Chains A and B, each alone.
Chain A
Amino acid sequence: MEFLLIVVVFALVVLVIATPLRRGRVEQSERREALELAELEAAKEAKYHEIRDAEMDFRTGKLSKEDHRILDRQLRGEAIQLLRRIDTIKPPAEAAAGGLGPGGRAAAEAAARAAPDDDPADGSEAPPREDSTSATMR
């Protein structure tokens, strides 16, 4: 009984670890572009987070209107640069999604993802903000 149990576990272990090798999967070397894309996507997420943080800092009074305007513009510029680089790597059809063209799609995504966390989650248009300098909510 004990021996049988050991054999069963051993067989299961072999099955689990050998499956990827057994599948005869096409051995693909990692595309350099895919790896670069992952890095850029991570940088993009970090940039979005930074934009949202700056927005929150502005709303809670840690940034003045003028400082926020400058910082926000700079961060969005950096985000758009990242999106343009992502678009050059991604397949053209995907990059052109949304009918805005590569640049427009990138910018739209930057705007949408960087929108503050309290944007309506149901997709409805957000109400206009008191502060007209914020590109996020304008």
Chain B
Amino acid sequence: MAVVGRALLILALGVALYGIGASVYGGVKRRRAWVESGRRAVYALAGTLTIAFAILEVAFLRSDFSYSLVTSHSSTTTPTFYKATAVWSSQEGSLLLWVWLLSIWSSLVLFLTRRSLREIAPYAQAVLCGFAVFFLFLSVFKANPFGTLASVPTEGQGLNPLLRHPAMMFHPPALYSGYTLFSIPFAFAIGALIANRLGAEWIQGTRRFALAAWLFLGLGIILGARWSYTELGWGGYWAWDPVENASLMPWLTGTAFIHSIMIQEKRGMLKVWNASLVLATGTLAIMGTFLVRSGILDSIHAFGASTLGVPFLVLIGVMILSSIGLVLYRRESLSSEHKLDSLLSREAAFILQNIILVAFCFVIFWGTFFPLISELVTGTKTSVGGPWFDKYVVPLAFVLVALIGIGPLISWRRATAANLRRNFTFPIATGVVTLIALLFVSGATAEPKALAMTALVAFVLAGVGQELWRGVRARQAMADEVAPLALVSLVRRNRRRYGGYIVHAGFAILLFGVAVSSSFEHSKDVAMKPGDTAQINGFDVRYTRAYAEALPEKIVFGSQLDVSKNGKHVTTLRTTRGFYPATNSTTLGVVSRFFNGEAESEVGLRAGFGRDIWTVVNPDLLPLQPIIDQGDRVFGALLRSWANGGRPVSREQLDAFYRQRDEAVNGLARRWETRPWTSDFRLIVSPMATWIWIGAIITIFGGAVALWPAPATARRRVTATYAARLARDLQRS
């Protein structure tokens, strides 16, 4: 089926090229049939790529090692769940995933907008097909996922152990969905600029897709952070890694766009800014993909060095130049219809928020690309670390949280002193009371930044709470509903508004978790053997026992620790380090190859609303080394004797050999249990870290509420009498 897969990729490439031609021809000549044919080319692209992707997925699930990709990224011992996710663990497979998702999302969007955006759609279709051509070109000519092996091995090399985490099932598809969905507002913006249709229609048509992109990208980022926290074994969730940064940049500019687009929608303002922002977001999304694939910057998330960097640079160059050129060419059509009425207005708050978000993005961009910039200027690659980012990001985060609180409270156009008093008194009072309470009650004055952030978050939550309360009261006055029902009705009928408020609350909670957990975190590296106890932040951590498992695919060394406080048991933590055999080495010995492949950690975590207690073990294999070497010598001598003997080796001899080898490996594993030695542990007590994930869940829920289409019942209908009466009133006004 590999031949079919490759043929389908070539067919898809042809279809995408046709889609460009048909769409542009139809757009220029105003021929609907050609435009529709171009749109159907995108549907056909989605169908073709779905079959191609399914062929590759089936090959992984069936462990078909005739595919070189399956051999290098899966094995018969890989659990089925991870066989399914292994498709996108490779450069080739993830490129196919990217273009497949692009075709799926593009088809959905073009289907939903098939009766609108008539003048813009042809060019948007062409741009989307252009992206597909680019990625399919790479898949067909540079990173073919359907490559086959002349000699089919009986076993594959297995999936990278670090990728064996449930989040990996959803993290890449969510991230790529975000990236590909941001291509859609980009494409429609290009279409609107080419067609010179820069009014409300394209904004209305693409707003929902920008929000969907923002939601998926945010979900992808948070899943990646969770993976980092629970799998990578360093104890953190964000390391300012280039690939992490690459995903955050379009999310930040996308956030700015989702807000500033409202100003254009309502007031016809910021047209140049919005067009530039959405074009920049689309370009940054492609740049994120470039960073993962080019290997230009060192990252644990990247695919390593590759030859894909140059094509990506060409694409990014074309996107930047065409964006700038089109915005300049249409600058007259992009002039604002209104001016800012007052600095005390929601518009002004949104504009300031936009500036902060773009500044945030710029800081991250500079820090991410600083190694390249420094290499260009000085000839030496110099990286900037977490403290550098924190220096700039923390003050910006404070202003951002304040604006998150101000936005929902201030009215559009102009806020009077009375309005401000009425809306800000309770939230500000809540923030101040929280600050004072923390200062005098908690005594945590050593971390003023965390205290200030907590007070700001209290301000945000009080503001959102006040908005919900007032909305519920208004709803109750109107419909005579009980409060919970009124709340549901209110949110259901005003999804954009209250979905946005929920996002604000969730994001503030997330930042609260970040601020408190990073400020008050206690971390300690200790060496312990069973029976030893370490202290951290008032907790006694006792290493109670070591245990080991020799599984078909890995050898696991585990440690169990009991955590207590003031003599009372708090929790039991179990942490392991799994060693996978080296699969592609010819120099390692029979036994030592079991300990020289990839390794992964399983952290011991007790998550709670108050604090997380986190640990990871890193067993030192040095005490085992003499025994491993001895095993290599014994088994190596036996293999050499067989090779020099000149007689064929019987099946029974081979079986006995493997049985003895497995017993030796099991014996080594048991030695960890029976004669355990001192091992290194990292212990972390992190207060409020769980609120990061709770905040993220609330944020995503709020985004989904805002994105969800309004119910049919929310479409307002009135009786003719009622409408006529209102009409007469309106006509008089």
For residue B545, which residues in chain A have a CB less than 8 angstroms away from its CB?
A: none
CB <8 Å contact, B419 and A16: no
Q: How far is the CB of B344 from chain A (nearest CB, A)?
A: 12
A-side contacts of B44, CB under 8 Å: 12-13, 16-17
Interface residues on B, range: 35 or more
B15 surroundings in chain A (CB, below 8 A): 13, 17
Q: Which of A21, A57, A129 contacts B411 (CB 8 A)?
A: A57
The answer to whether B727 and A108 touch across the interface, beta carbons within 8 angstroms, is yes
Taking the closest CB of chain B, its distance from the CB of A62, in whole angstroms, is 4
Q: Is the CB of A5 within 8 A of B733?
A: no
* Cross-chain contact of B727 among A5, A43, A71, A100 (Cβ < 8 A): A100
Question: If A10-B11, A50-B266, A61-B423 touch, does A112 touch B716 (CB 8 Å cutoff)?
Answer: yes
Within 76-98 of A, Cβ neighbours of B (below 8 Å) are at 76, 80, 98
- CB-based contact A127/B478 at 8 Å: yes
Is B733 in contact with A135, judged by CB distance below 8 angstroms? Answer: yes
Minimum CB–CB distance for A100 against chain B, Å: 6
> Does the CB pair B415–A118 fall under 8 Å?
no
CA–CA, A60 to B728, complex, Å?
27
A67 proximity list for chain B (CB < 8 A) = 411, 414, 416, 419
Chain B 597-624 interface 0/1 with A at a Cβ cutoff of 8 Å (1 = within): 0000000000000000000000000000
Chain B residues with Cβ under 8 A from A28's Cβ? Answer: 32
* In contact, B200 and A108 (Cβ under 8 angstroms): no
Binding stretch for chain A, among B1-9, B170-178, B437-445, B567-575: B1-9
A67–B36 Cα gap in the complex (Å)? 48
User: Which residue on chain A has the smallest CB distance to residue B718?
Assistant: A112
> B479 to chain A: which residues have CB within 8 Å?
118
Residue B700 is within 8 A (CB to CB) of chain A in the complex: no
Instruction: Say whether A73 contacts B733, CB under 8 Å.
Output: yes
Whether A64 lies near B33 (C-beta < 8 A) is no
Q: Which of B467-493 contact A (CB under 8 A)?
A: 467, 470-471, 474-475, 477-479, 489-490, 493
Residues of the A chain whose Cβ atoms lie less than 8 Å from the Cβ of B729: 111, 135, 138
- Find out whether the CB atom of B730 lies under 8 angstroms from the CB atom of A110: yes
- The residue from B41, B475, B717 contacting A112, defined by CB atoms under 8 A apart: B717
B142 at the interface (CB under 8 A from A): no
> Are A9 and B8 touching (Cβ within 8 A)?
yes
Q: Quick one: which of A34, A50, A118 contacts B489, CB cutoff 8 A?
A: A118
Q: CA of A124 to CA of B721 in the docked complex: distance in angstroms? A: 10
Closest A residue to B12 by CB, please name it. Answer: A13
Q: How far is B419's CA from A110's CA once the two chains are assembled, in angstroms? A: 28
Bound complex: CA A19 to CA B33 (Å):
9
Map CB proximity to A onto B1-30 as digits: 1 under 8 Å, 0 otherwise. 101100110010001001000100000001
A113→B1 CA distance, assembly (Å): 55
Q: Report B725 CB to chain A, min CB distance, Å.
A: 9
A46-B265 in contact (CB<8A): yes
CA distance A92 to B729 in the complex (A): 24
Chain B residues proximal to chain A, CB less than 8 Å: 1, 3-4, 7-8, 11, 15, 18, 22, 30-34, 36-37, 40-41, 43-44, 47-48, 51, 116-119, 197, 199-201, 203-205, 265-266, 409-416, 418-419, 422-423, 467, 470-471, 474-475, 477-479, 489-490, 493-494, 497, 713-714, 716-724, 726-731, 733
**8 further contact pairs, Cβ within 8 A, besides A2-B4, A17-B37, A59-B470:** A2-B1, A9-B8, A13-B47, A25-B32, A34-B118, A43-B200, A56-B471, A125-B719
